A and B are shown apart, each in its own frame.
Chain A
Amino acid sequence: DIVLTQSPGSLTLSPGERATLSCRASQSVNVNFLAWYQQKPGQAPRLLLYAAYLRPTDIPDRFSGSGSGTDFTLTINRLQPEDVGVYYCQQRGASPLTFGQGTRVQI
């Protein structure tokens, strides 16, 4: 299995700041098969980015992604109170589909 390790485990920032979340894979992941999700308390995860940096149409451009190979990054610019939650990376480049353990963002 491809293990995805996210860091930091949690971070606390102020509104307007930038959050940088890391996802490191135990082996190389095709960039097309790396996605990010946001999970707010009591809700199902919500797709934020796919193919490492592509945004669904309903996701604001404050959310951006980068990376390749084994290292991927989710950046949240201009943090807002509604960005509180846990963020997960996910890969589908190899079976089984796996998720990182999550990064908790508090504001």
Chain B
Amino acid sequence: QVRLQASGPGLVRPSETLSLTCSVSGDMSRFSWIRQSPGKGLQWIGSFSDGGTPQYNPSLRRRVTILGDTSRKQVSLRLTSVTAADTALYYCARENFAYGFLDSWSQGTLVTVSP
């Protein structure tokens, strides 16, 4: 069973870059970042798979970078030029290669964009 822990600054200034890290205890495979705005639903940001090309949600593609470090067992998220609309609870989750479901989730980490 894999365990995931998301971490990073809880406050980011507008126009700056949001950076989060997902630490993986278990095998590195495919991992997604998902966010949930306060009181809202779930939005897929993108995914990283070991040996593969990152995939991004087209609505965020211009501002997102997801990288993996298999030696440190970490998956990182960078989101540039943030605005208040990027305030959300951010999760990382393991994605199943064959079926595309998300079977292990981190606890959410709240990121607030505010001056």
Contacts of B47 in A (CB 8 A): 97
Contact B41–A96 (Cβ < 8 Å): no
Contacts of A12 in B (CB 8 A): none
- Given A44-B91, A44-B105, A44-B106: A97 in contact with B44 (beta carbons within 8 A): yes
In the complex, per-residue mask of B98-109: 1 if CB is within 8 Å of any chain A CB, else 0: 111111011110
Contacts of B80 in A (CB 8 A): none
Contact A46–B57 (Cβ < 8 Å): no
Contact B101–A35 (Cβ < 8 Å): yes
Query: How far does the alpha carbon of A9 sit from the alpha carbon of B57 in the complex, in Å?
Result: 25
Asked if A85 is an interface residue, CB under 8 A from chain B, the answer is no
The 4 closest A-B pairs by CB, nearest first: A92-B100, A44-B105, A35-B101, A50-B101
A–B Cβ pairs within 8 angstroms, 13 of them: A32-B98, A35-B100, A35-B102, A44-B91, A88-B42, A91-B100, A92-B95, A93-B100, A95-B55, A98-B44, A99-B42, A100-B41, A102-B41
Residues of B within 8 A of A (CB): 32, 41-44, 47, 55-59, 91, 93, 95-96, 98-103, 105-108
